[in-house]
Structure 1
Amino acid sequence: MVEDDASIVQRALDAAALPATVDPIALEYAMGVLVQGWADFAGSTVDEDTSMLLDCIGPHFAGAFNGDDHDPALEAACKAIVTSLHAAQQERARQTASVILPTLPKRADAPVEQAVVVGVAPSSSATKPSDPVDAAVQPDTRADKEHGDEDDNEEGNSDNSSSETEEAAASHASHTDAFALEADPEPDLEEMAHAACMTRGRFPPGESRDVNLSNLVLAQGPRDLLVNATLKLFYNHRYGLVGRNGVGKSTLMKRIAMYKIAGFPKHLRTFYVSAEAPGSAKTALEFVLAADSERAALLREEAGLTRAESGQESNPERLVEIYARLQEIDADSATQRALVILNGLGFDDVKLALPTSQLSGGWRMRLSLACALFLHPDILLLDEPEAHLDAAGQHWLQNFLSEYSGCVVVVSHSAPFLTAVTTDILHFHHRKLDHYPCDYPAFVQAREDKQKKQIHLQTDLDRRRQQLTESMRKMEAKAAGNARDQKRLQQVASRKKKLNRMGFEKTADGRKFNSQLHGIREGAINANTGGWKGGKRSAASTVLYDEPSIRFQFEAATAIGAPDTALIQLQNVGFGFATAEASSTAAAATTPKLLFSKVTLEIFASTRLALLGLNGQGKSTLLKLIGGLLEPVQGQIVRHRQACIMHFNQHHVDQLNLDQSPVQHLFGLWLAHRDATRANTMGLSGSTTPQERQMLFEHEEQNIRRQLGHFGIGSPTAYQRIATLSGGQRTRVALACLTFLASPHVLLLDEVTNCLDIESIESLQNALQKFQGAVVLVSHHGPFVDAVCTDLRVVERGRLSKLDGVSAVQYMADLDDS
Structure 2
Amino acid sequence: MSSYDIAEQIREFLPGTEEILVQYLSGYLVDEASEDEDILQVARYVLESVAMDKPDVLEHLMTALSALLQDQLTRREKAQSVPKLQRLDKVLDMSKAGAMSNTIAFAEGVDLESINKGKASRVDVKKLEKQEAKLKAKIEKRARRDLYEGSKLLEQKKKEQSYEEMFMKINPLQSTASKNKSKDIHLPSIDVSFGSNRILSGASLTLAYGRRYGIIGRNGVGKSTLLRHIAMRDVPIPSHITILFVEQEIVGDDTTALQSVLKADVWRDHLLAEEVRLNARLAELDATPPGESDARLEEMRDEVSGRLAEVHASLADMDAESGPARAAALLAGLGFSEQDQGRPTRSFSGGWRMRLALARALFVKPALLLLDEPSNHIDLNALAWLEDYLQTWPGTLVVVSHDRAFLDAVATDIIHQHSGRLDYYKGNFTQFYSTKSERERNLRREYEAQIVYRKSLQAFIDRWRYNANRAAQAQSKIKILEKLPELTPPVAEETESFRFPETEKLSPPLLQLSEVTFGYDSLKIILNSINIDVGLDSRIAIVGSNGAGKSTLIKLLTGELSPQSGQLNRNGRLRVGYFAQHHVDTLIPTMNPVQFLAHKFPGKTEQEYRQHLGNFQISGLTGIQPIGTLSGGQKSRVAFSVLSLLRPHILLLDEPTNHLDLEGLDALMLALGTWNGGVIVISHDERFITSVAKELWVCGDGTVTKFKGDVEAYKSLIVSNIKAKP
TM-score category (smaller protein):
0.7 to 0.9
Which of 694, 704, 712 matches 2:609? 704
Shift of 1:392: 2.6
In structure 2, what is the equivalent of residue 736 of structure 1?
A: 641
Residues 1:466 and 1:237: Cα distance change in structure 2 (over 3 Å): same
Shift of 1:198: 3.3
What letter is aligned with 1:270? I
In structure 2, what is the equivalent of residue 540 of structure 1?
A: 488
Residues 1:383 and 1:126: Cα distance change in structure 2 (over 3 Å): closer
In structure 1, what is the equivalent of residue 268 of structure 2?
A: 295
Shift of 1:815: 2.4
Q: Which runs of 5+ in 1 are unaligned?
A: 1-119, 130-139, 503-523, 526-538, 579-590, 675-698
In structure 1, what is the equivalent of residue 242 of structure 2?
A: 269
Deviation readout 1:647-683 (Å, 9 max, x if unpaired): 1122222332334432233233335xx6xxxxxxxxx
Contact 1:380–1:408 at 8 Å: present in 2 too? yes
SS in 2 for 1:768: helix
The separation in 1 between residues aligned to 2:424 and 2:534, in whole angstroms, is 47
Residues 1:203 and 1:668: Cα distance change in structure 2 (over 3 Å): farther
The separation in 1 between residues aligned to 2:478 and 2:459, in whole angstroms, is 11
1:41-60 matches, within 5 Å, as none
The separation in 2 between residues aligned to 1:332 and 1:141, in whole angstroms, is 65
Shift of 1:756: 1.7
Residues 1:817 and 1:264: Cα distance change in structure 2 (over 3 Å): same
Shift of 1:237: 0.8
Which of 120, 124, 146 matches 2:108? 146
The separation in 1 between residues aligned to 2:695 and 2:55, in whole angstroms, is 58
Q: Which has the larger radius of gyration?
A: 2
The separation in 1 between residues aligned to 2:221 and 2:120, in whole angstroms, is 40
In structure 1, what is the equivalent of residue 211 of structure 2?
A: 237
Contact 1:288–1:338 at 8 Å: present in 2 too? yes
Which of 787, 798, 802 matches 2:706? 802
In structure 1, what is the equivalent of residue 77 of structure 2?
A: none
In structure 2, what is the equivalent of residue 352 of structure 1?
A: 341
In structure 1, what is the equivalent of residue 695 of structure 2?
A: 791
Determine whether 1:257 maps to 2:231: yes
Shift of 1:499: 4.0
The separation in 1 between residues aligned to 2:228 and 2:356, in whole angstroms, is 19
In structure 1, what is the equivalent of residue 672 of structure 2?
A: 768
Residues 1:205 and 1:354: Cα distance change in structure 2 (over 3 Å): closer
In structure 2, what is the equivalent of residue 362 of structure 1?
A: 351
Q: Which runs of 5+ in 2 are unaligned?
A: 1-46, 57-101, 289-300, 722-726
Determine whether 1:816 maps to 2:710: no
The separation in 2 between residues aligned to 1:327 and 1:349, in whole angstroms, is 27
The separation in 2 between residues aligned to 1:321 and 1:255, in whole angstroms, is 33
The separation in 2 between residues aligned to 1:571 and 1:402, in whole angstroms, is 44
The separation in 2 between residues aligned to 1:157 and 1:353, in whole angstroms, is 84
What letter is aligned with 2:436? R
1:497-576 matches, within 5 Å, as 498-499=480-481, 501-502=483-484, 524-525=485-486, 539-541=487-489, 543-547=490-494, 549-560=495-506, 562=507, 565-576=508-519
Residues 1:760 and 1:352: Cα distance change in structure 2 (over 3 Å): same
Determine whether 1:280 maps to 2:253: yes
Shift of 1:403: 1.1
Shift of 1:160: 5.7
Deviation readout 1:103-144 (Å, 9 max, x if unpaired): xxxxxxxxxxxxxxxxx9996884399xxxxxxxxxx99562
Contact 1:284–1:356 at 8 Å: present in 2 too? yes
Which of 311, 336, 343 matches 2:284? 311
Moved more, 752-761 or 416-425: 752-761
Determine whether 1:209 maps to 2:183: yes
In structure 1, what is the equivalent of residue 539 of structure 2?
A: 608
Residues 1:382 and 1:309: Cα distance change in structure 2 (over 3 Å): same
Count of matched residue pairs: 602
Tell me the TM-score normalised to structure 1 length: 0.67
**What RMSD, in angstroms, separates the aligned Cα atoms of the two structures?**
3.5
What letter is aligned with 1:211? I
The separation in 1 between residues aligned to 2:52 and 2:409, in whole angstroms, is 62
Moved more, 226-235 or 191-200: 191-200
The separation in 2 between residues aligned to 1:703 and 1:251, in whole angstroms, is 33
In structure 2, what is the equivalent of residue 455 of structure 1?
A: 444
The separation in 2 between residues aligned to 1:380 and 1:166, in whole angstroms, is 50
Residues 1:213 and 1:769: Cα distance change in structure 2 (over 3 Å): same
Shift of 1:223: 4.4
What letter is aligned with 1:209? K
Deviation readout 1:425-458 (Å, 9 max, x if unpaired): 2122333322122222222221111111111222
Shift of 1:595: 1.0
Determine whether 1:780 maps to 2:726: no
Shift of 1:472: 5.4
Deviation readout 1:753-776 (Å, 9 max, x if unpaired): 112223322221221222232222
Shift of 1:557: 4.5
Determine whether 1:166 maps to 2:129: yes
What letter is aligned with 1:252? L
Contact 1:241–1:249 at 8 Å: present in 2 too? yes
Shift of 1:797: 0.9
The separation in 2 between residues aligned to 1:785 and 1:460, in whole angstroms, is 41
Which of 441, 449, 470 matches 2:430? 441
